[in-house]
Amino acid sequence: MAKSVKMKVFKILLFLVTLVYACEPDNKPTNLIEEKKMILIMTDLHIMDGYMSTIIYSDTTKRNTKNLYATIYKTHNTTQKSYEESLKYYSRKPALLDTMYNKVQALIDEKEHKLHNAEIIQPNRIQKQK
């Protein structure tokens, strides 16, 4: 339930960003991340956002947060700047961005399902050792 609420809030925020940039010309950035790759990056960032929302922040956590997000960009051979410029571009195309976010949600659901199945098949090993 909370997951769907978070996604709805996220979509509303993206819609508002779209409104802000709607009047700008439709110029593709030179470093535009293609749609499929963008969906994978968005998925990883969304999962990281979920993880970060579960921990208590400290100065060390804030420093590590930047490293964690940088790792996602590095894993996908891109930069934060390219991601932000690409997101800005896709935000000017609300129907496309909505479709992309539906695919992000589907990937997250799939990963969650696989994780849940793995937990059922192989219960917590720590409990077994006791």
For 31-90, the pLDDT digits (tens) are 999 999 999 999 999 999 888 878 777 767 767 778 889 999 999 999 999 999 999 999
| Structure confidence at residue 13 as a pLDDT band (50, 70, 90) | low
**In contact, 101 and 10? CB cutoff 8 Å:** yes
The total number of residues written for the chain in this structure? 130
In 3D, which of 28, 101, 32, 41 has the Cα closest to residue 69?
A: 41
Q: How many other CB atoms are found less than 10 A from the CB of residue 60?
A: 8
| Structure confidence at residue 28 as a pLDDT band (50, 70, 90) | confident
Contacts of 24 (CB under 8 A, 6+ apart): 92
pTM score, two decimals?
Answer: 0.70
Residue 122 DSSP code: S
Q: Mean of the pLDDT values across residues 89-101?
A: 94
Residue 100 has pLDDT above 60, yes or no: yes
Per-residue tokens: 128: 């077994």
**In contact, 28 and 93? CB cutoff 8 Å:** no
Q: ∠ CA 61-71-95 to the nearest 5 degrees?
A: 105
| Structure confidence at residue 104 as a pLDDT band (50, 70, 90) | very high
In 3D, which of 96, 76, 85 has the Cα closest to residue 30?
A: 85
Query: Domain range holding 24?
Result: 2-129
| Structure confidence at residue 108 as a pLDDT band (50, 70, 90) | very high
Into how many domains does the chain fold? 1
